[in-house]
Amino acid sequence: MSNSANKERSLLILSAWLAAFFAIMSIVFGLMLGSLVIAFDGFYSLVSVALTLLSVLAVRIVDAPRDHVFPFGRAIIEPLVLIVKGSVIFLLCGYAFYGAIVSLFDGGRIIDVNISLLIGVINTVGCFVIFTYLTRAAKGSDSSLLQAENAQWKMDGYLSLAVLIGFVISALLQSSPFADWARYADPVMMLLVSCYFLRMPIDMVSQAVREILHMKADESLEQQVDKCVHSLDGKSPVQFRLAGLTKVGRELHIQLELDNQKTQPGLQLQHIQMAQLALEKELNRLPFRAQLNLALT
């Protein structure tokens, strides 16, 4: 396994252990306090642990060398894992939304705000500290699995922050003439949080589906690759044109054509091979593995 894969695997395992700690703490206190939103935070973290372990397994599979079963590599495993992760998170948010609606119709619930505030502070600070650490540790990595992991911690951090703000509002309500409304604070928070965070798994799944279907890569990535292709202008008698670009996991599948208007006539195959090697060197600057396909017709 390469050094980058070892680092990726270590960060994912660390993330799993930390998520397990926050999950157990939130579930225990959420059930003790009768707080729907704290318990949801814990169950989300618990699901994150299972999904992170799935990512660790995916890293081991993706980094394995090509063989007769996977002659073009295993990069497609990454978007498949992202589809599973996004789908599970979507279902969890949907279930939380349903639970919040039921709680509202049941008349809400009274919770111990003091302890809830303490748990909210611990969760919020902890999640953002871990998110910041993982972001810096994974800087320059081409792993979409690590990016998804960071997105989960960021999502959990904002979830915890929203919960904390909700508990502050609940505490203010309990000490005001509107104390009867405080029982609705917990389910309302859960309703808002679940609706807001439904977008993240939807975006995750849609991007993964685009990669599996080999749809066109996004505009910014296409501009980066096109810049690499045009870096040969004036340096080589052979000029290429970007004909197609797709992204699958950490791999770029690049379709090239000879630019007949700029390429000098009467060139031999070795000139084309030298230009291709020069282009591959430029593409290595990008945080992806490039697979070139050159059409000579």
Domains of the chain: 3-212 (1.20.1510.10), 219-295 (3.30.70.1350)
Tell whether the model's pLDDT for residue 219 goes beyond 60: yes
Q: Provide the pLDDT for residue 268.
A: 66
> Which amino acid is located at 153 in the chain?
W
pLDDT tens string 147-195: 777 877 887 788 788 778 878 887 888 778 877 887 887 788 778 878 8
CA–CA distance, 17 with 6 (Å, rounded to integer) = 17
pLDDT at 109 over 80: no
pLDDT of residue 214 exceeding 60, the answer is: yes
Confidence at 266, pLDDT banded by 50, 70, 90:
low
Using pLDDT thresholds of 50, 70 and 90, give the confidence band for residue 226.
confident
Per-residue confidence (pLDDT) for residue 272, from 0 to 100: 78
**For residues 296 and 200, which has the higher predicted lDDT (pLDDT)?**
200
The pTM assigned to this predicted structure is 0.69
Range of 37-46, 77-86, 155-164, 260-269 with top mean pLDDT: 77-86
Q: What is the pLDDT of residue 254?
A: 87
Query: Which has the higher per-residue pLDDT, 247 or 151?
Result: 247
pLDDT, residue 194, reads: 80
SS (H, E, C) 58-121: HHHHHCCCCCCCCCCCCCCHHHHHHHHHHHHHHHHHHHHHHHHHHHHHCCCCCCCHHHHHHHHH
- pLDDT cut 90: percent of the chain above it: 2
Please determine, for residue 297, whether its predicted confidence score (pLDDT) is greater than 70.
no
| Whether residue 104 has pLDDT greater than 70 | yes
**What is the reported pLDDT for 95?**
81
Examine the pLDDT at 2 and tell me if it is beyond 70.
no
In SS3 terms, 107-146 reads as CCCCCCHHHHHHHHHHHHHHHHHHHHHHHHHCCCCCCHHH
Asked if 105 contacts 187 with a C-beta cutoff of 8 angstroms, the reply is: no
Average pLDDT over residues 245-259: 84
Which bin fits 140, alpha (ψ -120 to 50), beta or left (φ > 0)? left
Distance CA 82, CA 4 (A): 20
| pLDDT range class, residue 5, cuts 50, 70, 90 | low
> What is the pLDDT, as a whole number, of residue 37?
73
- State the average pLDDT over residues 77-105: 84
197 φ, ψ (degrees, to nearest 5): -85, 5
| CA contacts within 13 A on the Cβ side of 221 | 18
Residue 143 has pLDDT above 70, yes or no: no
pLDDT tier, 71 (very low <50, low <70, confident <90, very high otherwise): low
Cβ atoms of 133 and 157 within 8 Å: the answer is: no
pLDDT band at 286 (very low <50, low <70, confident <90, very high): confident
Q: b/e per residue, 21-38, with b = 16+ CB within 10 A?
A: ebbebbbebbeebebbbb
* Cα 234 → chain centroid: 39
pLDDT band at 142 (very low <50, low <70, confident <90, very high): low
Q: Is the pLDDT of residue 72 over 70?
A: no
CB 283 within 8 A of CB 290: yes
